[in-house]
Amino acid sequence: MSTARINTSELLSPSQLAEVRERSNLRGIWLVLHAWGVIFGSMALFVWMPNPLTFLLAVMLIGARQLGLAILMHDGAHGNLTENPKLNMFLSQWLCAYPMGAETMAYRRYHLQHHMNTQQENDPDLILSAPFPITKKSFRRKMIRDLTGQTGYQQRKSQIMNALALGKQGMDMSAKDRALHYWNKLGRATLAQAILFAILAASGHWYLYFALWVLPLLTWHMAITRVRNIAEHAMVPDNDDPFRQARTTLASPLARAFIAPYWVNYHVEHHLLMWVPCYNLPKTRAYLIANGYGDKMESKKNYLEVLRMATSRPDDEDGPGKLVHNARRRVAGTFDEGFSSAN
């Protein structure tokens, strides 16, 4: 069954459409600089006042901005980050995707399949929402694995092994071909890691790369990515209704700082008009509500409300259940969200 389509001209007036689809080079540049500013600023805070509290705060802020870089890469994959296409791709690739071990065009190929087949059987992201609701015990186990780095380690391990062609398909590969395969998969991402390490080493604080880049990437970033995935499509009311096959979760300033950066929470609006830049999604929602669509859109007041719903299965039904998602296979080679080994 294919998902229903909506004529966007029926949602907003011509002037409203023109306003929300407008892209800005300066706004896109600012958002990328903001993400890196928060990352380096959080590191500087810990160096200035090294204690457990500032370390924990830095891990959470940096992990959230790492998700922010993925979100800005997502905007770049849609061509939404800036007005200039070359600038859009440069920012998306070198300052967002590669530092996160991702690749914009590979993500685009995958992600557009999600938009074309949202919540349908051939939606590649359906595996993220299919298991819910789950028990509180199951959710607690997932969070423990995320926050202790187990999920991130397994995903990155799988990514590197695939890039090195260490599976059956690479058994007869020469060293030269293996190196070329790695470069094509992760070479530029590795270069981005080396540059980041060199910057921190030049500052006299090389250890920050491991303590406040790798650690947040493998822990807090993984946990809030899971929360984001749950909020966007799990337990939506109607898989065939464009207004109700995705979810917008309202976010307080605190939630935006630590869980949902750069308007990622406006997911219904994004699916209705996927060419709208992330920075125009709040305005898009305001126009949709003003035009009478507010009651049609699936929305929740905060992430706690979504998580209560997601963990509503009784604990006495807790168990291993049916395997619906093999994370290590899913990330075979590129990134923890939205990539397959074919890309």
- d(CA 284, CA 276) in angstroms, rounded, equals 8
Per-residue pLDDT of the chain (343 residues), as tens digits, is: 445 567 888 899 999 999 999 999 999 999 999 999 999 999 999 999 999 999 999 999 999 999 999 999 999 999 999 999 999 999 999 999 999 999 999 999 999 999 999 999 999 999 989 899 999 999 999 999 999 999 999 999 999 999 988 876 666 788 888 999 999 999 999 999 999 999 999 999 999 999 999 999 999 999 999 999 999 999 999 999 999 999 999 999 999 999 999 999 999 999 999 999 999 999 999 999 999 999 999 999 999 999 999 999 998 888 765 444 444 334 333 344 433 333 3
Predicted structure pTM score = 0.92
Burial track 157-172 (b if 16+ CB lie within 10 A, e otherwise): ebbbebbbbeeeeeee
CB of 298 closer than 8 Å to CB of 235? no
Neighbours of 324 (CB within 10 A): 11
Q: Nearest Cα to 294, choosing from 328, 259, 252, 250?
A: 250
Q: Which residues in the chain belong to E strands, given as ranges?
A: 248-249, 299-300
